[in-house]
Amino acid sequence: MTPLTAVPAPSFDIERVLASIDTMAAQKPVAAQIVSVANADDTSSKKLAAILATDVALAGRVMKLANSAYFGMRGRVTSLQFAVTVVGFTTVRTMATVALTDLDDESRLPEDFWDLTTTIALSASTLAPRFGERPQDALCIGLLAQLGMALLAHNDPEGHAGLRADNPAFADLRAAEVQRYGISALRLTAVALEQWGFPREMVSVLNKVEEITAPEGSLLRAAFEVAGRLTLEDYEPIPISRLTCGVLGEEALPPVLERVWVEAEELRAAMIG
């Protein structure tokens, strides 16, 4: 059982947290527009590039990501439209969401937030084929998985910091979050992405992470595990086989750990500039 944190329970209003997202959208209309149109059936790379071009910072990040080791293009992407083509609409939308929710402002986030986030994303992407999932979807969901945690930490900085300190294991932290806020950060992420119309398949992955017997959540559980082992001090590993319903064995992890470790910094640089 997770011990109660020493920080007193806040007058925490989940509705206020959600309302803050609406406020953010209003403050960043270009990002909001991209989030809105990126997955529409009639959206083309040309159209998306045209909208993206009006946000120089965001466009720059998409270009940087397209030329990163992750997409393997090694500086060959010189036009924004081709960059959109290469990284894909969902990734552009993910980057716009990151910008929209101020996740690109490290000063407002828990320490090491992006180290953990990029390793979760790369781990999910790298392991995706083993789970029959598309790597790019896994990358996006990995990049956005901690959105809810950022929201909680932003609205209750001290309280959430205390929870994180007391619960180094991800499952423990999620239980503590439910106890303190009535909702876990991961679930909050799912709700937010649902609000923005991200594909149902992507969102359902988030909803299944906490059910350890649910195969749909296996990939993200494994990604969290790899990220924990790579980024957290004194992290106590959980057997990967248990987390993945037997899909992965420990022998599968060393090459993944190595590759993620090498690429994470570049992805972080592309995502937050």
Partner 1 sequence: MDEGRTVAAEPTAMIAGQPSPEIVAGIFYGAAVTDMMAILVAERTAGTTRVTWGNQGAVKLLGYGVEDLGNLPFETLLPTLRGGELKLLLRRERGTQMNLPIRTASGATVDCAIISTPMPSGRMWTLRVVAGTNEQERALRATADAHERRFSTLTERSPIPMLLSEQGMRLAHVNDAFCSLLGRRAEQLLGTSWLDAVHPDDLDEVLESAADALEGGDGEAKARMVREDGTVRTTVLRFAHLFTPGVGAGFVGTIEDITDRLAFEERLAHQANHDPLTGLPNRTLLAQYVAERFAAGRSELACLFLDLDNFKVVNDSLGHAAGDLLLVEVATRLTRTVRPGDLVARFGGDEFVVVCEGVDEAAAVTLAQRIGEALSAPVRLGGVDVRPHASVGVTVQTGEHVEADELIRDCDIAMYQAKAGGKGRITVLDQQGRAQARDKLRLVADLRDAIERGEIALLYQPIFSAGDGAPVAVESLARWEHPERGLISPVTFVPLAEESGLISPLGLLVLDETCRQLADWDAELGMAAPMRANVNVSALQLDENLPVHVRAALHRHGLEPCRLQIEITESALMADPTFAREVLQQLRDLGVEVAIDDFGTGYSSLAYLRHLPVDCLKVDRSFVAELADGHAEIASAVIALAHNLNLCTVAEGVETVEQAEELARLGATFLQGFSLGRPMSGPEITTWFAAHRETLETPTDPELPR
Binding site for partner 1 (CB under 8 A): 14-15, 18-19, 22, 39, 41, 45, 66, 69-74, 76, 82, 84-91, 125-126, 128-130, 134-137, 178, 181-183, 187-188, 191, 194-195, 199-200, 203-204, 207, 252, 255-256, 259
Helix extents (H) in the chain? 14-27, 29-37, 45-52, 56-66, 80-87, 89-100, 113-127, 135-144, 147-155, 157-166, 170-181, 185-195, 200-208, 218-231, 240-243, 253-272
Nearer to partner 1, 85 or 155 (CB): 85
Give the separation between CA 105 and CA 107, rounded to whole angstroms.
Answer: 5
Token pair, residue 25, equals 């959208």
- Please report how close the Cβ of residue 73 comes to partner 1 at its closest, in angstroms: 6
- Please report how close the Cβ of residue 129 comes to partner 1 at its closest, in angstroms: 5
Nearer to partner 1, 73 or 245 (CB): 73
Give the separation between CA 209 and CA 39, rounded to whole angstroms.
Answer: 24
Give the separation between CA 243 and CA 76, rounded to whole angstroms.
Answer: 39
Nearer to partner 1, 48 or 243 (CB): 48
Give the separation between CA 103 and CA 146, rounded to whole angstroms.
Answer: 9
- Please report how close the Cβ of residue 87 comes to partner 1 at its closest, in angstroms: 7
- Please report how close the Cβ of residue 14 comes to partner 1 at its closest, in angstroms: 5
- Please report how close the Cβ of residue 200 comes to partner 1 at its closest, in angstroms: 5
Nearer to partner 1, 89 or 114 (CB): 89
